Structures are given as structure tokens and as C-alpha cells.
Structure 1
Amino acid sequence: MTSSPTFSDPNLLDWLEQQTPDQLDNAPFGVVRMTREGVVVAYCKSESHITGIDPAYAVGKYYFTQIAPCANNMMVAAKYAQPVLDEELDYILTYVCEPVKVTLRLLKSPQSQYQYFLVNRKFVD
């Protein structure tokens, strides 16, 4: 995979695992890298642009309660309990930003060091 992966690329998890937090800033969609416990370790610039949340504020906080409680539900957060997760779903982010229509991609595997919450804007406002 090149330096510009697509949102739906089947090998995206492997690419994400190889990127430094600074390299994740170059992704053409929002990327939140979390520990397996859900603590944010990287919050890329694209994600910050979509949500208005500063990356420096997000890092070190529990994603689903302190950063994005709008995703702390059965549709999103609960799915990370699965050992393998690769799912895309339409969603509306609503926490600190105006409602934004997006496609989410939830990624995790037993081999991955982290779990990922990816955001792709659906419509231009």
C-alpha cells in the first residue's frame, strides 16, 4: 500500500500499524489510534478538523467517555469487545461539533497492537 491508503482498503489495518503518529496526520481521513483499553495514543489532524477537538487534548484520554461519548453505544464502542473487528457504518458525529454525517470504520485484530476508529466525511457542508 502506498502512502495514501483508501478508507475501505482491505489492508488498511496493516498500514495503520506501521505508521508513526506524525505519519497518521497524512491519512486522507480521520484516524484515532487507541490502546486496547480505549485510551487515545494518536489523534490525527484530519480527525481534529472534523471534530474540532485538539489532538493534544485527546491524547491520554479514554476515547468513548472523554472524547466521543456520542459513540459510546452498542453501535460503535461495544463492538470493540470483539477480538476481530473490521466494519464500516454510516454515522452522525454530534459531541462537540455540529452534526456531521460520516462513515466510520472500526478496526482491530488479535495481531494488532492498537485498535482504530476511522472517520470519513460523507457530505461536504
Structure 2
Amino acid sequence: MTQPITFSDPNMLAWLESQTDDQFDEAPFGIVRMTRDGIVAAYCKSESHITGISQEYALGKYYFTQIAPCANNMMVASKYAQPELDEELDYILTYVCEPVKVRLRLLKSPDSRFQYFLVDRKSFS
């Protein structure tokens, strides 16, 4: 990782865009890098530990139906239809794991190559 970053850092999107998939594994929170169409391009180790879904399984799958159907709703998935997005919200993940209270951060911009789904277990309000 080029520099430490915090979950709520205002420059998060620029930082994410500058990192390689392997560098995400060093982040203290979960990171999912998706194509603009919602296909998982990178799934970091922290995210895998939170959800119990392996990186190998997640790659290449449509995130909101094949990996995280619990986030395929108006509170999360539908927000990615916006051209620009930087929102944090408390959420309860119910993937294939026990319900987990987390803080989500949803990110994308018209200029970004990818869109991002971040998960922090420590920041739940």
C-alpha cells in the first residue's frame, strides 16, 4: 500500500483507482472492485474474511446477484445507477455468513474506471 488510508477518507476514490488488486489485500477493511456493469474485478482478503466467500469464487461474478444478493436492493445496489456516488451507511450483511453489522461505503464517479463497495466491521454506529 502506498499510504495508510482510513475508511472515511475524502480522497478514497482516487486512492482506490491508484491501487492494484493485490494492494487491496493490505487494507484494514473490505474492498470489492467492480466493473461499471457490476462484475467483480477484485475481492480483497478482508472482504473474504468478513463474508466467508473466497476471492477465487467471487472474481468474474455479478456482485449483486451472485455474491451479495442481500445488497441487491434500493438501499445499496440501485444507488450505483447514479453517475456519481460516495455514500456511507450502516448495514447488516447476510451473505452466506451469520448476520454481520458493518459500515458500507459506496463509491463511483463518471471518471472512475470501476465502482467500489467497501465494508468496515469496526465503524458500525
Q: TM-score range by the shorter chain?
A: over 0.9
1:25 paired residue number: 25
Structure 2: runs of 5+ lacking an equivalent: none
Asked if the contact 1:4–1:28 (Cα under 8 Å) also holds between the matched residues in 2, the reply is: no
1:49-85: CA deviations, max 9, x gaps? 0000000000000000000000000000000000000
Asked if the contact 1:104–1:120 (Cα under 8 Å) also holds between the matched residues in 2, the reply is: yes
TM-score by length of 2: 0.95
**Runs of 4+ deviating beyond 2 Å:** none
2:106 pairs with 1:106: yes
Asked if the contact 1:91–1:104 (Cα under 8 Å) also holds between the matched residues in 2, the reply is: yes
How much identity, in percent, do the aligned residues show? Answer: 80
Looking at structure 2, the residues matched to 113 and 31 of structure 1 have their Cα atoms a distance apart, in angstroms, of 15
Alpha-carbon RMSD: 1.6
Structure 1: runs of 5+ lacking an equivalent: none
2:97 paired residue number: 97
TM-score by length of 1: 0.95
Amino acid at match of 1:9: D
- Aligned pairs (5 A) from 1:46-65: 46-65=46-65
Counterpart secondary structure, 1:23: helix
Looking at structure 1, the residues matched to 43 and 97 of structure 2 have their Cα atoms a distance apart, in angstroms, of 16
